[in-house]
Amino acid sequence: MRRSTARDRAALSGALSGLAFVVAIGGANRLAKGPFPRPGSTAEEIRTYYRDSRAAARFSVAWQALAVLAQVRFTASVARLAARHTRRPGLMRTATLVSGGAAAACLAASAATQSTLTMPIERDDEAVLDTTRRVFVAGGPVHGVAYGVFTALLAESGRDAGLLGPAATRVGWLSAAASLLSPAYFRWEQAGWLIPIGRFSGYLVSGILGARLSRPDSPTAAAPAGS
């Protein structure tokens, strides 16, 4: 049996969240007057970046804020889908709301902390390094764990609803695995590559699911009995 799900135009926020984050990174790189400080940068290198490239950093923060808002809205769309088309509707809906909300909160905390580095506040070297580390940890590995869970739930909900095919579902699961493994960075620096791999592949699957949810009369599998 097949049925249709109501059109959800707001689900396009799935693509918007990824686009806004890409603009945040790409735009900041174009506006910056020097390289963005990476983990391991000195306090002076960090000060120099946020002093000379203040506009770039604030541009990044603003677009990250938009990505956060889009993530929150998309989480609501995915939670609604999970409640209607999965075998464990209550659990899936709750888990989607919690993981999606946590991912948004982590990115918001990272952006808010980064914004303080653009302010003319006197900090000693230890404070500069600590603040920069909190920006990275919240927006990197910690965000990765929450976003990985969300992406896994998104992939399962999209598959059960008939909106994601086998290939997109596999990409979703691989994205989730990369994100969930990203805290390995704390023991092995090369694992840092898992952060962008998990994030951008997750944005891709979010965009696909969001686009399909936004279509009128999207064909989906019938909801499980009792959902």
Query: 123-130: which pairs have CB atoms within 8 A and are 24 or more residues apart?
Result: 125/43, 125/44, 126/43, 128/43, 128/46, 128/47, 129/43, 129/46
Of 14-28, 64-78, 85-99, give the lowest mean pLDDT range.
85-99
Average pLDDT, the chain: 90
- Does residue 17 have a pLDDT over 90? yes
Share of the chain above pLDDT 70, in %: 92
pLDDT per residue as tens digits for the range 169-197: 999 999 999 999 999 999 998 888 999 99
pLDDT per residue as tens digits for the range 51-66: 999 999 999 999 999 9
Mean pLDDT to the nearest integer, 97-105:
97
CB 50 within 8 A of CB 117: yes
pTM for the full predicted model: 0.88
Tell which residue, 10, 165, 161, 148, has the closest CA to residue 83. 161
